[in-house]
Amino acid sequence: MAPDNWVEWLRLIATPGVGSATARRLLAAFGPPAAVLAQRHGALAEAVGPTVASRLQAEPPEWPALLARTQAWLTQPDHHLIALGDAAYPASLLTTPDPPPLLHVVGDPAALSAPRALAVVGSRNPTPQGADNARAFARALAAEGVCIVSGLAAGIDAAAHEGALAAGGRTVAVVGTGVDRVYPARHRALAHQIAAAGCLVSEHPLGTPPLAPHFPRRNRIIAGLTQGTLVVEASLGSGSLITAELATQMGREVFAIPGSIHAPQSRGCHALIRQGAKLVETAEHIHEELRAVWGLAAGTPAPASGATPSPADDPVLAALGHDPTPFDLLQARCGWDTARLQAHLLTLELDGHVQRLPGGLLQRVVRT
């Protein structure tokens, strides 16, 4: 699927210096892309300046290769181009301040217009508990028909997609590269699963590499496709906080999961909560907050996603608590000799109740 004038749309966004804001300015001034490209230099220069005007009139060196690549890409099943104003363009993005002019989609474009959608974002280096939380929340909500939207990044993003897939639900990955590239490369199999259960989407032309400025930019699409954003774990300054800020500016709900006061990955979530984000401990809390937005009746049951606690009678787990803890402190708390404690910790690790963290720290993992 592609609009009849997809070549003109692609030529417009492939012009160096023409981002989404500049493209919309040109469209507002002159009409559809073909009309923009037909303008004389003086008229274009008045709208966007002489440099961009010259670039619009001079075919980029890479244009023939990009055109051929995109033509071949569109012949493959489930490959789509959706332009601003098309019937298939997600209505939720139209209400945002900076909607992308052209979307490249692999999978089902209808997933972009899911009536119930939640962004799940967070650290690329989460704690084991954080990754488990992301999977559990996504799995519970996806099982209730909520589309899980994230960014295919390592860590929380991947865990959220995995949770939605485990529930047999829909999930959307908004990528910061061309949609024909997978970053990180180790997520290639995951990307194929996402395309089969929902879609991959990018505003960038095919072949676009993973450039650092693209990832904060794609966060506005993640926030814009959804009615709320859940931050699972995030350090201060994390890109996930950008997504949360954008969601707030768009009038969407923001949720955050609290964590250990000693974990750097929790500080961003705690900052969001201090700023007014809703503290959530279960998927039911999100379900309740968005019930009206999602058009659910008051009696609609919330998804069951509470974490199943580890064995309450284990003295080592009780001494460990829920904060990352060094071995010597744990030993002081429980009073066991080194050999006995190490053997018991090994058993707890094999059972999935304890995870070793960098720096020799131990953390209890709540089973989900």
Is 284 found in the same domain as 152? yes
For residue 142, the enclosing domain spans 110-289
| Residues 279-302, mean pLDDT to the nearest whole number | 80
pLDDT digits (tens, 9 = 90+) for 340-362: 788 788 778 777 788 888 877 88
Residue 306 lies in a domain: no
CB contact at 8 A, 319 and 330: yes
Strand order in the sheet with 199-202: 79-83, 102-107, 199-202, 171-174, 147-150, 117-121, 228-231, 253-256, 278-279
Residue 90 lies in a domain: no
Distance CA 213, CA 61 (A): 23
| Residue 133 parent element (H or E) | helix 128-143
Is 187 found in the same domain as 67? no
Distance CA 109, CA 271 (A): 35
Distance CA 95, CA 225 (A): 10
pLDDT digits (tens, 9 = 90+) for 210-220: 999 999 999 99
Is 118 found in the same domain as 237? yes
Question: What pLDDT does residue 218 have?
Answer: 95
Q: For residue 352, what is the domain's CATH number?
A: 1.10.10.10
Is 193 found in the same domain as 118? yes
* Residue 301's pLDDT band (cuts 50, 70, 90): low
Q: Decide if pLDDT at 309 tops 50.
A: no
Question: What pLDDT does residue 366 have?
Answer: 76
Residue 65 lies in a domain: yes
Number of separate domains in the chain: 3
CA-nearest of 183, 193, 123, 107 to 152 is 183
Query: Global pTM?
Result: 0.82
Is 279 found in the same domain as 319? no
Q: Decide if pLDDT at 159 tops 60.
A: yes
Is 342 found in the same domain as 282? no
Is 119 found in the same domain as 185? yes
Is 249 found in the same domain as 115? yes
Is 244 found in the same domain as 328? no
Is 233 found in the same domain as 350? no
Residue 348 lies in a domain: yes
